[in-house]
Structure 1
Amino acid sequence: MSGARQAAGGGAPAYQVWAVPGIPEVQAGDDLVKLLAAAVTGEGLPGLADGDVLLVTSKIISKAEGRIVRAGDREAAIDAETVRVVARRGSLRIVENRQGLVMAAAGVDASNTAAGTVLLLPEDPDASARALRSGLREALGVDVGVIVTDTFGRPWRSGLTDVAIGAAGVRVLDDLRGGVDAHGNPLSATVVATADELAAAGDLVKGKAAGLPVAVVRGLPHVVGGDGGDGARALVRAAGDDMFRLGTSEAVREAVTLRRTVREFTAEPVDGAAVRRAVAAAITAPAPHHTTPWRFVLLESAEARLRLLDAMREAWIADLRGDGFSEESIAKRVRRGDVLRNAPYLVVPCLVMDGSHTYRDERRNASEREMFVVAAGAAVQNFLVALAGERLGSAWISSTMFCRDVVREVLGLPSGWDPMGAVAVGHAAAPPRERPVRVADAFIAVR
């Protein structure tokens, strides 16, 4: 029997934790409640009492529930249990599995099971915990909490530890927000993962290879009681709150996929710091001759945006009239051009030819400019993708390219700065429409 959190001095907070021996190899269809009840009341053990917490390794639950599958290829089993790849490095995959857990290999385990088979996690670990708690109450007449545990790695930390993947009758989270610490400082972000702490405590006595899949914690009755709310599912961070939802390459791919042309924005202000971070990503684009052919003009004030857009509208209307368009047609076209006017933030990317080469052959000069234009396009694409990563919508509109002199005059730009359209930036007013599926092979030529 092992003690923990034992402070010096009498009456200090303490609890006890011990492993439960005597549990036989579990087979599919076994009555796990019966096996556990017999084991915890074995000779020399203190049995179970109200307020205890029973920590049960998920593997024995999976075996009892028949979650053993024939699988010569473990990777195929992982594929079947995966709903989202979070990160991949070589053969290692961190994924979100069908239970909503983010972990290595979807929890598919080839250890402690016969050759040619793999062990899947319980179908519903919270339901498994509830069934064990109810069964033990009926068999032994005790009100205990039950936590189903599994071994996880953790971001930023080396080594493995047990965490709770299922729970019943246990307060899995202890929300201390609204209270104060010993110095009277307000606690505004402290939510303790009590169930994970209990799981880790049990793992200290169960061990990874000792054949002791169950442990008991006694002395913390305040964490036991009620129905346990949402069970261990409450420990899974919601997608919207998860700042580390993806690995590096997966985050880049998702940002590229998220990038959409957004034409309607909310009135929510745009964080200028987020736009500047996107510019920092933009200027990593490739460019010819070791040049930096990009400049980004940020129109952060409404006055600057309206002054530019009004001047551009006047120039556009004059051009349309010169081309013989009717007033009705002009009005329709101008209305369609209001995407920039409705955006809370505008950015005008500009091309500069500083460092470009001049040749006697005009064809080579034209190619030289094309190289710089391509570099500008690469920078703008970087910029749009980075904005998507900041959860900002954008629309790259070409209009400033048709009135560059007007833009330079209104914004006071050097004569060598060529506006390359304008980017409307803001928070999307509606979810993006589904993008038509494009098969990569249709855009590939192999020689």
Structure 2
Amino acid sequence: MSAPAYRVWAVPGLPEVKAGDDLAKLIATAEPGLVDGDVVLVTSKIVSKAEGRILDAADREAAIDAETVRVVARRGTLRIVENRQGLVMAAAGVDASNTPEGTVLLLPEDPDASARAIRTGLRDALGVDVGVLVTDTFGRPWRTGLTDVAIGAAGVRVLDDLRGGTDAYGNPLSATVVATADELAAAGDLVKGKAAGLPVAVVRGLPHAVGGGEDDTGARAMVRGAADDMFRLGTSEAVREAVTGRRTVRSFTDDPVDPGAVRRAVAAAVTAPAPHHTTPWRFVLLESPKARTELLDAMREKWIADLRADGKSEESIAKRVRRGDVLRNAPYLVVPCLVTDGAHTYGDARRDAAEREMFVVATGAGIQNFLVALAGERLGSAWISSTMFCRDVVRGVLGLPENWDPMGAVAVGRAAEEPRERPPREVADFIEVR
């Protein structure tokens, strides 16, 4: 039995492609010897040219803006973005090379449709059943250098799912899905080159990679969905999204909360600035239903007593108490506390009050860190001030030291519904410049 092998070669003789050209006819003329099972690799630049995706653009940045759906990461002028085709790549795939000065090339509007059209055209011209890939050049996270990948596909099994099988030693394969289309694209790039003027290549000898019908999912099937993308944002963008995307959640699912995620959020909280090199934050984690119920029941009794002392009606009291359901319905509670160890005493009421305010501000900064870190863990939260109104009760139920001041309670869990949009705020309304 001979060892597996395949051939790959570049197709010479293609003319300069212009808008309106029939790529299938040009390829069939340059490479009439195509056979069933071949895979034809077509550089996206000539597809874009044939489809008229050339744009007059003295300002390439404006063209990138127009093609961008979401900024993933930014460093200086370099942007990694998600473009209209759902691809995450540098500059949205807008290319100013191999095109006349003052113009840019946009990616094909629908690369899978482009690949299908070329495949159909080759079948009509030559009577062959081939696979077609539209390829483009990508950088990759954690790796230096560029390679070609498939952005459009027709008649190619783009992914080879080996899950459920075994390796040579009989070990089960549980996570192995091979990006066959990208491997083919990279093989073709070795013979096409970046500056050789050879935009088409052919791979022969891998007929198992060619298929149609229900298997013809297109290259779109290779784009990882947001729910499975662990690296959806760059560092600064992830921080910004966690800050601006955080909302107060008032309805939670019953899904359990990972205690490790809460502890990672506490680790972020205690990096906040604090006066005199102190550490004024303490976080009491109520992980058992019993602890949460005992605390909330005691707080409710105190609250009802206070409202009755204020002369509120029983109907009004019941309505107000129901507002505490946010804490009661959450699967996890955290009580952040202020500890003023290390505070200076001046013997002057004004200065002593300012000293305490510094510690309160530092605690608030720590709690904000905590809330943002929870958002980064994809956990919803609601910071409720109720424990501040019955600190003695909270300390008694939880067995806290007298110098721990509860600063509200944070409900934590998975949001049961999308939070309401935050009303727009004009930044200029919050700024004074001197």
Question: Per the shorter chain, which TM-score range?
Answer: over 0.9
Match of 2:275 in 1: 288
Question: Equivalent residue of 2:99, what SS?
Answer: coil
Pairing partner for 1:169 from 139, 155, 172: 155
How far apart are the structure 2 equivalents of 1:152 and 1:265?
40
What does residue 181 of structure 1 align with? 167
Once the two structures are superposed, the pairs formed by residues 193-212 of structure 1 within 5 Å of their partners are 193-212=179-198
1:344 aligns with 2:335: no
Residue 221, structure 1, aligned to residue 221, structure 2? no
Which amino acid letter does the alignment assign opposite residue 59 of structure 1? K
CA distance in 2, matches of 1:321, 1:135: 83
Alignment of 1:125-144 (within 5 A): 125-144=111-130
Spell out the pairing of 1:11-22 with structure 2 (5 A cutoff): 11-22=2-13
Give the 3-state SS of the residue equivalent to 1:340 in structure 2.
helix
Deviation for aligned residue 1:202: 0.4
CA displacement 1:65-99 (0-9 Å, x = unmatched): 11111110100110111011000000000000011
In 1, Cα distance between the equivalents of 2:228 and 2:429?
37
Q: What is the distance in 1 between the residues matched to 2:140 and 2:104? A: 23
Q: Which residue of 2 aligns with 1:437?
A: 424
Q: How does 1:29-108 map to 2 (within 5 A)?
A: 29-41=20-32, 47-108=33-94
Shift of 1:230: 2.5
Provide the secondary structure at the position in 1 that maps to 2:264: helix
1:441 is displaced (CA, Å) by 1.4
Q: Which amino acid aligns with 1:35?
A: L
Among 309, 312, 318, the alignment partner of 2:299 is 312
Write the letter of the residue equivalent to 2:3. Answer: A
Name whichever of 330-339 and 92-101 sits farther off.
330-339
**Structure 1 segment 215-364 matched on structure 2, within 5 A:** 215-227=201-213, 228-364=215-351
Identical counterparts, % of pairs = 84
What whole-Å deviation, never above 9, does each CA across 1:164-214 have from its counterpart, x for those lacking one?
000000000111111111111111111111100000010111111111111
1:27 and 2:18 aligned:
yes
Q: For structure 2, which runs of at least 5 residues remain unmatched after alignment?
A: none
Q: Give the aligned residue type for 1:291.
A: T
Q: Which runs of 4+ in 1 moved over 4 A?
A: none
- Secondary structure at the aligned position of 1:401 is classed as helix
For the residues of structure 2 that align with 1:205 and 1:309, how far apart are their CA atoms?
Answer: 70
Q: Which amino acid is 2:280 matched to?
A: P
User: Matched residues in 1 for 2:69 and 2:424: separation?
Assistant: 19
Of 110-119 and 180-189, deviating more is 180-189
SS at match of 2:336: strand
Q: Indicate if the aligned counterparts of 2:157 and 2:217 stay in contact, CA closer than 8 A.
A: no
Q: Spell out, residue by residue over 1:308-350, the C-alpha distance to the aligned partner (whole angstroms, 9 max, x if none).
A: 1111111111111111112221111111111111110000000
CA distance in 2, matches of 1:391, 1:198: 37
Partners of 1:230 and 1:98 lie apart in 2 by 19
Give the distance between the partners of 1:80 and 1:230, measured in 2 at CA. 27
Instruction: Give the distance between the partners of 1:40 and 1:140, measured in 2 at CA.
Output: 10
Residue 369 of structure 2 is aligned to residue 382 of structure 1: yes
Shift of residue 258, structure 1, vs aligned partner: 2.1
User: Residue by residue, what CA displacement relative to the aligned partner does 1:350-382 show, whole Å, maximum 9, x if unpaired?
Assistant: 000011111122111100111110111111111
Q: Which residue of 2 aligns with 1:5?
A: none
Shift of residue 229 of structure 1?
2.9
Alignment: residue pair count? 433
Cα distance in structure 2, aligned partners of 1:259 and 1:287: 23
What CA distance in whole angstroms lies between the structure 2 residues aligned with 1:359 and 1:217?
Answer: 82
CA distance in 1: counterparts of 2:421 and 2:294, whole angstroms: 35
Is contact 2:40–2:202 with CA below 8 Å preserved after alignment?
yes
The two structures have a TM-score, normalised by structure 2, of 0.98
Q: Give 1:268's aligned amino acid.
A: D
Aligned-partner Cα distance in 1 for 2:260–2:216 = 40
Q: Deviations over 1:110-138 (max 9, x none)?
A: 00001111111011100000000000000
Per-residue CA deviations over 1:383-424 (Å, capped at 9, x if unaligned) read 111111111111000000001111111111111110000000
Counterpart amino acid of 1:96?
A: E
How many Å separate the matches in 1 of 2:250 and 2:419?
10
Correspondent of 1:415 among 377, 402, 420: 402
Is contact 2:339–2:403 with CA below 8 Å preserved after alignment?
A: yes
Shift of 1:218: 0.5
Q: TM-score, normalised by structure 1?
A: 0.96
Deviation at 1:257, TM superposition (A): 2.1
The residue type equivalent to 1:257 in the other structure is T
Separation in structure 2 between the aligned mates of residue 57 and residue 237 of structure 1, nearest angstrom = 22
SS class of match (1:372): helix
- Range with greater deviation from structure 2 (26-35 or 241-250): 26-35
Distance in 2 separating the partners of 1:229 and 1:303: 54
How far apart, in 2, do the equivalents of 1:40 and 1:290 lie?
74
Q: Is the Cα contact below 8 Å between 2:335 and 2:407 reproduced in 1?
A: yes
